Amino acid sequence: MLLSIRNLEKRYAEHVALQNISLEIPKGCIFGLLGPNGAGKTSLIRIITQITGPDAGEIYFDGERLRLEHADQIGYLPEERGLYKKMKVGEQLLYLAQLKGMRKDEALAKLKDWFIRLDIKDWWNKPVDDLSKGMQQKTQFIATVVHEPKLLILDEPFSGFDPINANMLKDEILAIKERGTTILFSTHRMESVEELCDEIALINHARVVLSGNKAEVQARFKKNQFMIRFEGNLMQMPGIEVISQQPSHAVLRLSEGIGTNEAIALLIQQVRLLEFKELIPSFNEIFIQVVSETN
């Protein structure tokens, strides 16, 4: 485990931000931190980045109790992001890299690599003020990853990116994961959860209400529903409920005790079966279901 969070509590004067939060984040995975606005995601992230401290509970980073020195091994891209507007891109990144404990020459070399890789060589001496929003996002992303952190925390990384840059960012995130970096990825966009995450945790009202491996979680929410494509006339069958029907498509739910093989055996007596597919709930559905159940 890269990060073990145990029984974390955080209370602000008027409300409880985190209540008994425990999470295990394995090394080298992309961990999706989900939850509606105000659920406590940012509070949790700020405790992991040691911007604030917890009231109770502990965090272990790579086997050690989380300490100030670990800050240099964490890269954090906050949701609300910004840069010094008057500073030049190059010197700003150099400053931020040095604040993460890099030596100047080392930071300079790594930054040059990034500038070449993202094809932004001529930005070095531009003041941040002159950059477009998308360019600033790229700059900020470099600032987050240049020191090659063990843990990368990305809070809504795709917001503000156009589709082309979002794709580029996705590729970069996957490449960073390949190098063994653990990524904590907080988002509302369920399609990117489906695409990128290996593990997820859903936080609502300061508590973890759902967590686990992505496929495992999806399996938990399966409703035993199947989509079929067919030719012919679909009749009522014992143990198979037709939820919706169109001339060539239908959604069926199998009763307890009826397996897919039995269902198919029944179906082929009536129609020519072209396709039989299990309906796996999307994370969007899971999200909405769990959040409304726990509200």
Residues linked to residue 6 through DSSP beta bridges, in sequence order = 58
Q: At which residue do the structure tokens 């086997």 appear?
A: 63
d(CA 18, CA 16): 6
In whole angstroms, the minimum distance from the beta carbon of 99 to another protein comes to 4
Residues within window 6-45 making contact with another protein, judged by CB under 8 A = 12-13
Instruction: Compare residues 81 and 214 and give the one whose CB is closer to another protein.
Output: 81
Q: What is the phi/psi pair of residue 127, to 5°?
A: -70, 145
Q: Please pick, from the candidates 26, 27, 99, 167, the single residue that binds another protein as defined by CB under 8 A.
A: 99
Q: List the interface residues with another protein, window 42-81 (CB under 8 A).
A: 46, 49-55, 68, 71-72, 74, 76-78, 80-81
Which residue, 82 or 238, has its beta carbon nearer to another protein? Answer: 82
96 scored as a contact of another protein (CB under 8 A): yes
Using CB under 8 A, which of 37, 65, 86, 121 touches another protein?
86
Among 1, 57, 73, 87, binds another protein (CB under 8 A): 87
Q: Give 246-250 contacts, CB < 8 A, sequence gap 24+.
A: 248/274
Compare residues 35 and 78 and give the one whose CB is closer to another protein: 78
Which residue's CB is nearer to another protein, number 52 or number 255? 52
Which of 81, 138 has the CB closer to another protein? 81
d(CA 134, CA 140): 10
- Is 53 or 259 the residue whose CB approaches another protein more closely? 53
Where along the sequence are the contacts to another protein (CB under 8 A)? 12-13, 46, 49-55, 68, 71-72, 74, 76-78, 80-87, 95-96, 98-100, 140, 143-144
